[in-house]
C-alpha cells in the first residue's frame, strides 16, 4: 500500500526517539567485563615456562619470538632454560588464543586489559620484561580451572600456583615450593591421588 513503508519507518524513528539513551560514557563509565574476556596483552608465568616454544610454533602468524639459554638453574635435575627473549608482536596479533591453547604448562594466558594503545608500531611489541612486570590478571578463557573457582581477574591477581590445571607440587624444583605448602595443597585437592 502506498505510504505504508514510510509509516513503518516513522514508527521506528518514534520508538527510538522516546527510548531512554543507553550510551556508556567511557572512560568515566565502564561496562562489566566477563572473566573469559580475551583482552589485548598476555599474562605469562615465568615459573611455569620451560621455554619449549610450543606457543611460538602454534602461532599462525609467527609473531612470538623466544630465545632461551642453558643457565636457568636446576642443573642437578637436568637443567632448565632461562628465558632471554619472549617477544609478542601485538600489532599483528589477532587474539585467536592458539598460543595459549598450545602451552602445555599453563604458563601463557590471554590477558584482560584492552587499553594498551601506542603511537608507534614498535611499541606494540610485548617484551619479556613487560611480561615479567605485568600484573597477573589472566583471562579465564581456555582455563576452566580458573572459571571453576570463579576467579575474577578484575578484582584480584593469581599467582603461578593457582593457574595450573594440576596441583602445583608437581613442580618440586620451583623456588617457592615448600613442604608444608605441599601438604596443605594436597588436602585442599582432595580428589588428587598421587
- Say if residues 101 and 42 touch (Cβ distance below 8 Å): no
Binding mask 132-171 for ligand SF4 (x = CB under 6 A): ----------------------------------------
CA distance 66 to 51: 7
What letters, b where the CB count within 10 A reaches 16 and e where it falls short, cover 141-176?
bbbeebeeeebebeeeebebbbbbeeebbebeeeee
Under rule CB under 6 A, residue 66 binds ligand SF4: yes
Under rule CB under 6 A, residue 63 binds ligand SF4: yes
CA distance 72 to 31: 42
Binding mask 73-112 for ligand SF4 (x = CB under 6 A): ---------------x----xxxxxxx--xx-x-xx----
Under rule CB under 6 A, residue 124 binds ligand SF4: no
- Say if residues 83 and 132 touch (Cβ distance below 8 Å): no
Under rule CB under 6 A, residue 128 binds ligand SF4: no
- Reduced to 3 states (helix: H, G, I; strand: E, B; else coil), residue 77 is helix
Under rule CB under 6 A, residue 116 binds ligand SF4: no
Positions that interact with ligand SF4 (CB under 6 A): 49-55, 59, 61, 63-64, 66, 88, 93-99, 102-103, 105, 107-108
Amino acid at each position: 500500500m502506498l505510504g505504508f513503508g514510510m509509516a513503518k519507518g516513522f514508527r521506528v524513528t518514534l520508538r527510538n526517539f522516546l527510548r531512554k539513551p543507553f550510551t556508556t560514557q567511557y572512560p568515566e563509565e565502564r561496562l562489566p567485563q566477563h572473566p573469559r574476556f580475551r583482552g589485548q596483552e598476555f599474562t605469562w608465568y615465568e615459573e611455569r615456562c620451560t621455554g619449549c616454544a610450543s606457543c611460538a610454533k602454534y602461532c599462525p602468524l609467527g609473531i612470538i619470538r623466544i630465545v632461551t639459554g642453558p643457565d636457568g638453574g636446576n642443573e642437578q635435575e637436568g637443567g632448565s632454560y632461562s628465558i632471554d627473549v619472549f617477544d609478542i608482536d601485538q600489532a599483528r596479533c589477532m587474539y585467536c588464543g592458539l598460543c595459549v591453547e598450545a602451552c602445555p604448562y599453563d604458563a601463557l594466558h590471554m590477558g584482560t586489559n584492552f587499553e594498551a594503545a601506542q603511537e608507534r608500531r614498535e611499541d606494540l611489541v610485548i617484551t619479556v620484561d613487560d611480561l615479567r612486570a605485568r600484573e597477573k590478571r589472566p583471562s579465564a578463557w581456555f582455563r576452566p580451572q580458573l572459571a571453576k573457582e570463579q576467579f575474577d581477574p578484575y578484582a584480584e591477581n593469581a599467582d603461578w600456583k593457582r593457574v595450573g590445571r594440576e596441583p602445583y607440587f608437581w613442580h618440586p624444583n620451583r623456588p617457592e615450593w615448600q613442604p608444608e605448602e605441599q601438604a596443605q595443597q594436597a588436602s585442599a585437592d582432595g580428589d588428587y591421588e598421587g
